[in-house]
Chain A
Amino acid sequence: MDRRQFLKVSAMAAATTAAGRLAHAQTPTVAAGAKADIRRTGSVEWQKAPCRFCGTGCHLQVGVENNRVVAIAGDELAEVNKGLACVKGYHVGSILYGRDRLTRPMLKRDGKFVEISWAEAVDIVAKRVLKDPKGFALYGSGQWTIPEGYAGQKFMKGGLANNHIDPNARLCMASAVTGFLATYGVDEPAGTYTDLDKCDVLIMWGNNPAEMHPILFSRVLDRRARGEKITLIDLGTRRTRTTDHCQHYMEFRPNSDLAIANGIAHQLLKNETWDKDFVDKHCNFRGASEPASLNGQAISFEEYRKSMQRYTPEYVEEISGVKAADIVLLGELFGRRDLRITSTWCMGLNQHTRGTAANSLVHGIHLLSGHFGKPGDAPMSLTGQPSACGTVREVGTLAHALPGGRVVANAAHRKESEEFWNVPEGRIDAKPGYHTLLMWEKFSTPKEQGGDISTIWVQVTNPGQTLPNLNKLFYPSRKIDDKFLIVSDVYMTATAKHADLVLPSAMWVEKNGMVGNSERRTQQWFKMVEPPGEARDDCWQTIAVAHRLLELGHEGMKDKDGRFIFAVKDAKGQEVPIWRWERYYDVNVDRHLFEEYRKFTPYKHKHLAPYDEYVKARGLRWPVVEQKDGSWRETEFRFAEFDDPFVEKGKGFQFYHSVTGDDRALIWFHPYEAAPEEPDAEFPFWLCTGRVLEHWHSGTMTMRVPQLRRAMPQAYIEINRADAKKLSIANGELVIVESRRGKLELAAWIEGRGNPPVGSLFVPFFDERLLINEVTFDAHDPWSKQPDYKKCAVRLRKKGKGE
Chain B
Amino acid sequence: MIEPSSGRGLHIFLAVVVGLAIIGFFAGTRGDGFKALSKKGYTDSARSEHEVMEARAYRELMADPFSKSSQRDEALAKLQSASPDLFAVYERTQAEHEAALAARSERRAYAGAPPTIPHPVRQTGAVECMACHSEGLVIDGKRAPAMSHRFMTNCTQCHVVSEGPMGFSERAPEDLLLDNAFVGRDSFRLAGESVAGAPPVIPHPSVMRTNCASCHGVNADPGLRTSHPWRTNCTQCHAPSATMDQRPHQELAPFWGAHE
- Which A residues fall within an 8 A CB radius of B? 7, 37, 39-42, 44, 46, 61, 63, 65, 68-79, 82-87, 90-91, 93-94, 96-100, 197-198, 210, 214-215, 217-219, 221-226, 239-241, 243-245, 693-694, 703-714, 716, 731-732, 747, 749, 752-753, 767-769
Contact = CB atoms under 8 A, between A and B. Distances in A.
Contact of A711 (B112, B160, B169, B177): B160
B210 to A, nearest CB: 12
Contacts of B111: 71
A97 B246 contact: no
Contacts of A731: 166-168
B211 interface: no
B257 A693 contact: no
Contacts of B153: 221-222, 224-225, 245
B246 A221 contact: no
B165 interface: yes
A99 B179 contact: yes
Nearest to A197: B257
A245 B257 CA distance: 19
Nearest to B116: A707
B91 interface: no
Q: Is the interface of B mostly helix, strand, loop or mixed?
A: loop
Given A100-B177, A753-B165, A769-B176, 12 more contacts: A71-B185, A73-B246, A76-B207, A84-B208, A87-B156, A98-B179, A218-B154, A219-B257, A244-B125, A711-B163, A713-B164, A747-B168
A713 B170 contact: yes
Given A221-B152, A223-B257, A85 B158 contact: yes
B166 A82 contact: no
Given A100-B177, A704-B180, A711-B160, A222 B166 contact: no
B159 interface: yes
Given A44-B246, A61-B246, A241-B123, A711 B173 contact: no
Contact of B176 (A63, A97, A768): A768
A400 to B, nearest CB: 37
A100 B243 contact: no
20 contacts: A39-B246, A40-B243, A77-B248, A77-B252, A77-B253, A83-B207, A83-B255, A85-B158, A90-B109, A90-B113, A90-B114, A214-B154, A222-B257, A245-B154, A710-B164, A714-B170, A716-B166, A731-B168, A747-B171, A752-B123
A96 B182 contact: yes
A89 to B, nearest CB: 9
B175 interface: yes
Given A39-B246, A712-B165, A86 B158 contact: yes
Given A44-B246, A83-B253, A713 B173 contact: yes
Contacts of B165: 711-713, 752-753
Contacts of A240: 124
A94 B157 contact: no
Nearest to B162: A710
B9 interface: no
Q: Is the interface of A mostly helix, strand, loop or mixed?
A: mixed
Nearest to B255: A82
Contacts of A709: 178
A222 B180 contact: no
Interface in B203-260: 205, 207-208, 243-250, 252-257, 260
B65 to A, nearest CB: 19
Contacts of A99: 177, 179-181
B183 interface: yes
Contact of A707 (B109, B166, B170, B173): B109
A712 B182 CA distance: 19
Contact of B178 (A69, A217, A704, A749): A704
A87 B110 contact: no
Interface centre among A39, A78, A215, A711 (most CB of B within 10 A): A711
Given A704-B178, A731-B168, A70 B183 contact: yes
Contacts of B207: 73-74, 76, 83
A577 B176 CA distance: 39
A703 B176 contact: yes
Nearest to B153: A221
Top-6 shortest CB links A-B: A732-B168, A711-B160, A713-B170, A94-B182, A214-B157, A71-B185
Given A71-B112, A74-B207, A91-B113, A769 B252 contact: no
B181 to A, nearest CB: 4
A197 B176 CA distance: 41
Contacts of B123: 241, 752-753
Contacts of A73: 112, 205, 207, 246
A68 B183 contact: yes
Contacts of A226: 256-257
Contacts of B114: 87, 90
